[in-house]
């Protein structure tokens, strides 16, 4: 099979909440019958085949389990084979650091409005990883394990008065008080960690009417 010019471009890890997917693009429309083989390794080790990603036609491969040690760094590579034609060069990712390169998704938030206040309870995103008791780890659990500093940041905006204020907490509960009754407030909640920030949870909440005389 003659070597052809690379049929693959942009071999990258795309990672959200420590779910690490190795993806790549085809150079133009893939030739009929094109299949892909994926290998991975920890930096410093030998290449290993990812068994579930041999002779595949899709252009992505989930390497979450193979890259679950978030203190390590990894590589992945892919090559294309066109039956009765050619095999591409290996296209290799750059060095991938789960704890640095993962994007943190938006947290989940429950909020309870009252007449003059709103209580927020922030649930950090879950990861595909589990602890030794098989409990699902959240991104915050992982930050705690690797010593990454993090905090929760709430920005709230009052439609009526155009006021806006920011509150930062180390724990995942907020209570914003001294609010107007029966008034709409909107805003965002993020998780800040080392020098990065998660995707926002966007909320719109209305305080209760004051029924007292």
Partner 1 sequence: SLKQLHFGHCMVSVDMYEMRKGFGDIKEMTQSQDQHTSIRLLHGSHSLQNTKSEDRCCFFHYLLKFYLVNVFNQCTEGNNFHQRRVSRIANNFLSIKKELTLCDTVTTCSCGKEANQRYEQILNQFQRMDSHSAAVKALGELDILLDWIDKT
Residues that bind partner 1 (CB under 8 A): 41, 43-47, 71-73, 75, 92, 94-95, 97, 147
DSSP 8-state symbol, 73: -
Sign of the CA dihedral with 59 first, then 93, 45, and 145 last: negative
Name which of 32 and 44 has its Cβ closer to partner 1: 44
Q: Tell me how far apart the alpha carbons of residues 198 and 17 are, in angstroms, rounded to a whole number.
A: 10
DSSP string, 26-50: ESSSPPTT-EEEEEEEETTS--EE-
Q: Tell me how far apart the alpha carbons of residues 10 and 89 are, in angstroms, rounded to a whole number.
A: 13
Identify which of 197, 199, 42, 70 has the alpha carbon closest to the alpha carbon of residue 145.
70
Name which of 9 and 71 has its Cβ closer to partner 1: 71
Sign of the CA dihedral with 197 first, then 203, 205, and 138 last: negative
Name which of 95 and 204 has its Cβ closer to partner 1: 95
Q: List the end-to-end C-alpha distance of the chain, in Å, as a whole number.
A: 87
CB of 148 to partner 1, least distance (A): 11
CB of 13 to partner 1, least distance (A): 13
CB of 202 to partner 1, least distance (A): 30
Name which of 69 and 123 has its Cβ closer to partner 1: 69
CB of 70 to partner 1, least distance (A): 12
Radius of gyration of the chain (CA): 23
CB of 69 to partner 1, least distance (A): 9
Name which of 12 and 85 has its Cβ closer to partner 1: 12
Name which of 71 and 182 has its Cβ closer to partner 1: 71
CB of 23 to partner 1, least distance (A): 18
């Amino acid at each position: 099979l003659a070597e052809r010019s690379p049929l693959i471009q942009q071999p990258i890890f795309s990672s959200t909440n420590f779910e690490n997917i190795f993806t790549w693009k085809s150079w133009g429309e893939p030739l009929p019958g094109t299949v892909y083989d994926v290998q991975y390794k920890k930096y410093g080790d030998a290449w290993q085949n990812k068994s579930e990603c041999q002779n595949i036609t899709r252009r992505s491969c989930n390497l979450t389990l193979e890259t679950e040690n978030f203190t390590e760094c990894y590589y992945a590579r892919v090559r294309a084979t066109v039956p009765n034609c050619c095999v591409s060069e290996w296209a290799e990712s750059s060095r991938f650091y789960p704890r640095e390169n993962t994007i943190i998704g938006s947290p989940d938030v429950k909020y309870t409005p009252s007449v003059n206040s709103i209580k927020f309870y922030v649930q950090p995103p879950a990861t595909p990883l589990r602890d030794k008791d098989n409990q699902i780890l959240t991104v915050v659990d992982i930050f705690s394990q690797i010593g990454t500093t993090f905090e929760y940041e709430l920005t709230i905006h009052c439609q009526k008065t155009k006021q806006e204020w920011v509150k930062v907490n180390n724990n995942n509960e907020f209570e914003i008080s001294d609010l107007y009754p029966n008034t709409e407030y909107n805003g965002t909640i993020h998780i800040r960690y080392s020098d990065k920030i998660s995707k926002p949870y966007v909320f719109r909440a209305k305080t209760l009417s004051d029924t007292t005389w």
